[in-house]
Chain A
Amino acid sequence: MNKSLLKVDNLTMKFGGLTAIDNLSFSANNNEITSIIGPNGAGKTTVFNCLTGFYKPTDGEMLLSKDNETIALKKFTDFKIAQKAKVARTFQNIRLFPAMSVLENLLVAQHNELMIASGFSIFGILNLKRYKDKEREAVEKAKYWLDIIGLTNRADDNAGDLPYGDQRKLEIVRAMCIEPKLLCLDEPAAGLNPKESSELNKLLEFIKNDKKTGILLIEHDMSVVMGISDHVVVLNYGKKIFQGTPYETRKSKEVIEAYLGVDE
């Protein structure tokens, strides 16, 4: 039984006179991959930016179920979304810390826990065992994820030196290190070759099934969308024009029109 994880209600985002998202409502479930698709400029990334606290929506609600309580994402601003609400995201143009090592990238994602364990640096400076243990634990967690994406042998290299496809995967597992309830992926398959793309599918399936994390996905690559989505939301000009299973989406007249245009 899938429980509803995210409920977006009448979300509206205006930039001056431009309405980027218009009264959008949809929901996403636990242990499911929900894809948001739509032509360029449909407002997909703006939805993400609202969900992850980078923009403050003009109107509407975004409710997340977390540990038997419902929290309104609107109340959290930027970094608190990840810290408190446990919503993680990746970016369209990869945002790693390129001059830091792969392992360090994954440790920064565990910053808040480590910070508390280090007694806001005081225990850390004093080299207390309590902090050392926690740090070891954090490295283990990082290693766990690196094993999964097969980058363990590159843990000590700079993240910026990795090939493009590996950087994508690293960004995803870095987001997983904050142990999110909801993972928002902004075009994770962009620029990947078919082999990398299928590896990505496997990783996402793993996150969904084994980690019980809900995934929200923006993607243009239809083979990815149709292959792994449980649910598809189609946007056009900031409005939802369709919602359904991948199969239904493929058959939908509105969706075909939105992508291919209408014969007059």
Chain B
Amino acid sequence: MKPSSEIKSIIKDSLFTGLISLALFGPIVGLKTSSKGQGLFVTPHVGIVSLLVLACIIGRFLIGLNSLRKKEISFVSNITSTISSYMDNKGKHVAITGVLFAIVFPFLPFTDRYVLDVSIMILTYIMLGWGLNIVVGLAGLLDLGYVAFYAVGAYSYALIATTFGWSFWICLPLAGVFAAFFGILLGFPVLRLRGDYLAIVTLGFGEIIRIILINWYEVTNGPDGITGIPRPSFFGLPFKKFPEEGEASFHTFFNLEYSTMHRIIFLYYLILILALITNYFTLKIRKLPVGRAWEALREDEIACKSLGVNPTNTKLTAFAIGATFGGFAGSFFATRQAFVSPESFTFIESAIIVAIVVLGGMGSQTGVVLASIFLIGITEIFRDLEQYRMIAFGGAMVLIMIFKPKGILANRKPTITLKDHLNE
């Protein structure tokens, strides 16, 4: 039992918290403005404010009693460290099982069109997360404008495909090249900057790209976006119900009943392959000198310089590679939607991708997968609660930074070990 003086001070603290929370929630939550006819009116919401304030008081009281804090924190960190150590031992098995599951997923009994659509979306975010992980997780460069490369990829794909009518497999690498080019263009001057300045500059770059997309009517068609982007075909076989005269379609060629699912399944595999390529590439390059230099730069740039590592070039490769994958993902987005518009490339999109990387654990490939499934998948099911989901996003970012700054899965494995070397 705690001494009564301590209890007294806890109660004092709790009441103070209550007062502050009343000041916080009172006006914004408690006095909702709404327009009626000409002017604005204020509708009071006393109930919800009292609830919030009460929750704050009780919460603060429990934290003060020290019962909540310790238990909760140890509970959470127990879970994460269990997952982490499990992944350390069984990482390979989990990864293989995961990939196998992803491959058979479209044919599982509960997989309908909606589930598949959501999965495609999750996979797109996984790919974006993996791409950004190279920049943020490995090289330690906080890029708040990653969506710019996604946009460049999507728009260059859309423009090339609608203008020249080339196939997906030609447009995709071109879009990647364009995105990489933009990455280098931006990266070259800015990568000398300190970490936090870099974050703001990349954010500015992302916004500039978006504003240009909105206003450059001649090329981008402004806010209306580009429509009629060709759908991908299966090695030249389109997914059309009624193919043109003399042309084969996917279902006629394989003698199948026509179904819109074919295209969706094809798209699913397409993004799965793209994402796996990204992952393979990242895992591979991490073990190369350039990958190690990325991580070394993240750890200590001055030490890197003293060892003759060129920081600008090294960061630039990370930036360009990250941008390329962003561009690929953008191409996929364009071909899937058959439509692109500036709306899809707002700052919030960048923030979501950053959140995925940060929450998953910077540098952790599995972490990105878990974070994407969690953030995109679970919240997609509660679509109506969209705004609450963003509050949860932001709140999670703050909490992770406080309690687990390295992310949920952050056990780094060395890229090379002397043990393996000697066993060879």
Q: Chain A: residues with CB nearer than 8 A to chain B?
A: 52-54, 78-84, 88-91, 95-101, 103-104, 107-112, 114-115, 118, 120-121, 124-125, 135-136, 139, 142-143, 146, 152, 155-156, 174-175, 177-178
Contact of B416 with A107 in the complex, beta carbons under 8 Å: yes
Query: Which residues of chain B are near A88, meaning CB under 8 Å?
Result: 306-307
Interface digits, B388-419 against A, CB 8 Å rule (1 contact, 0 not)?
A: 00000000000000000000000010111111
Instruction: Give A89 to B305 CA distance when docked, in angstroms.
Output: 10
CA distance A177 to B308 in the complex (A): 11
Secondary structure class of chain B's binding surface, majority of residues: helix
Given A103-B418, A104-B414: A83 and B290 interface contact (C-beta under 8 Å): no
**Residues in B neighbouring A142, C-beta threshold 8 A:** 418
| Interchain CA distance A174-B300 in the complex, whole Å | 14
Residues of A within 8 A of B296 (CB): 97, 100, 104, 108, 111
Q: Is the CB of A121 within 8 A of B288?
A: yes
| A98–B302 alpha-carbon span in the complex (Å) | 13
Task: Mark interface residues in B269-290 (1 if CB within 8 Å of A CB, else 0).
Answer: 0000000000001001100111
Q: Which residue of the partner chain A has the closest CB to B307? A: A109
Q: Given A108-B293, A121-B288, A79 and B308 touching (CB < 8 A)?
A: yes
Which residues of A are found within 8 Å of B265, using beta-carbon distances? none
Instruction: Tell me if B310 counts as interface (CB < 8 A to partner A).
Output: yes
Q: How far is the CA of A155 from the CA of B416 in the complex (A)?
A: 10
A54 to B285, CA, bound (A): 30
* Contact partner, B306, options A52, A101, A143, Cβ 8 Å: A52
Shortest C-beta distance, B371 to chain A (Å), equals 20
Task: Say whether B289 contacts A103, CB under 8 Å.
Answer: no
Q: Is there contact, CB below 8 Å, between B309 and A118?
A: no
Given contacts A104-B414, A108-B293, A109-B307, contact A97 B288 (CB under 8 A): no
Which residues does chain B contribute within 8 Å of A96, judged by CB atoms? Answer: 299-300, 303
The answer on a CB contact under 8 Å between A107 and B417 is no
Contacts of B311 in A (CB 8 A): 79
B289 lies within 8 A of A111 (CB): yes
Interface string of B311-323 (1 = CB under 8 A from A): 1000001000000
The answer on a CB contact under 8 Å between A125 and B288 is: yes
Give CA–CA (A88, B305) in the complex, Å.
Answer: 10
**Closest CB in chain B relative to A208 CB, distance in Å:** 20
Interchain residue pairs with CB less than 8 A apart (19): A79-B305, A82-B306, A89-B306, A91-B306, A95-B300, A103-B414, A104-B295, A104-B415, A104-B416, A107-B289, A107-B416, A112-B309, A118-B288, A118-B290, A124-B284, A124-B289, A125-B281, A143-B418, A156-B418
